[in-house]
Amino acid sequence: MKDSVYNFCWWVSGIVLPEYRNQGIGKTFVRILLDKFDVCGGIGFNPSVRKNYIRFGLKQFDFKTLRRFTLLLNTESYSLIREKFKEEMRVLLPISTDTEKVNYPIENLKSFNNSVVSCFNEMKHRVKVNTHRTPEYLNWRYIKNPKIQYECSAVLEDEKYKAYVVSRHERFYPTKLFATRLIDLVGSPEFASELIAHEINKARQRNDAFLDFSFTGNFYEKILEHHGFSEILGDHYGALPLVSSPTEYRENEEFICLGSKRFPDLFGDIEFNDLYFTRGDSDRDRYNKLPNR
């Protein structure tokens, strides 16, 4: 597992028309993809779909979901909270008013280069399973995306990247409220902390309502808490909208599964905290047209 790279297929979206369900069509697609790729997996699916994945032997990691950490920046953010949770969330998610100190140079990236490889080295001792990040992949995924504008930044030391972050600025239609969503973050906690501080200051300057970051495992848990982020748990997970175009509240179905037909024991001893996946890995980002401001 360690230092091995497998070809992989994320299951992003799939549906069978109602009149053709329960005829094995969905199972056939799963079977075809498991035959074609070393590893398959998905992030975000409902309990009925989860049952089908279990039948194929995909590991469910104790049915844990992406963890959601959130930082509210102004009182307007409370207007985005689902009505039945508003009073509770005022206690669970206090407003942050602190300006963050940034100690290292931050560079806005117009492209990724081979320095991204070293960014992940500091995570290897605790992360056993992740998407293999190469400059070619990251440029395709974020820089060259034809519809979605991502903001990519890195901490520099001796002209080399020590950590990078990818975020996107979203408007919650039909309101005029915005948020910054951290889509991907890679690097040692020391340097990742610098990027989180940078993102908080940037979001505050443009009067965003909140920031959030969703990921598996616990690698960045402590530094997010250090910067004032709170984890949204249980029924409160969807109290702030998960979808912004248009704004939509959803129950937490951010489950994750992984499996392999070719290597059936590949994930046998892998636990949830051994994983590092982010919203960027799920490949479900929607087009969100931002007005000229």
Tokens at 172, concatenated: 């919650």
Alpha-carbon gap, residue 286 to 24, rounded angstroms? 30
Residue 24 maps to a domain: no
Residue 220 maps to a domain: yes
Contacts of 140 (CB under 8 A, 6+ apart): none
H helical segments located in the chain: 25-36, 47-55, 86-92, 115-119, 135-138, 189-205, 221-226, 279-282
Helix (H) or strand (E) holding 76: none
Contact between residue 59 and residue 258 where contact means Cβ atoms under 8 Å apart: yes
- Domain total in the chain: 1
User: The domain containing residue 206 runs over which residues?
Assistant: 67-249
SS3 of residue 14 by DSSP: coil
Residue 105 maps to a domain: yes
Residue 283 maps to a domain: no
Residue 186 maps to a domain: yes
Residue 55 maps to a domain: no
Residue 46 maps to a domain: no
Alpha-carbon gap, residue 240 to 128, rounded angstroms? 31
Each residue's pLDDT, cut to its tens digit, for the chain (293 residues) gives: 557 899 999 987 778 888 988 888 888 988 999 999 999 999 988 887 888 888 889 999 999 999 999 999 999 999 999 999 999 999 999 999 988 999 999 999 999 999 888 888 889 889 999 999 999 999 999 999 988 899 999 998 888 899 999 999 999 999 999 999 999 999 999 999 999 999 999 999 999 999 999 999 999 999 999 999 999 999 999 999 988 888 888 889 999 999 999 999 999 999 999 999 999 987 666 555 665 54
Residue 265 maps to a domain: no
Tokens at 139, concatenated: 């440029």
H helical segments located in 98-169: 115-119, 135-138
- CATH number assigned to the domain comprising residue 243: 3.40.630.30
pTM: 0.92
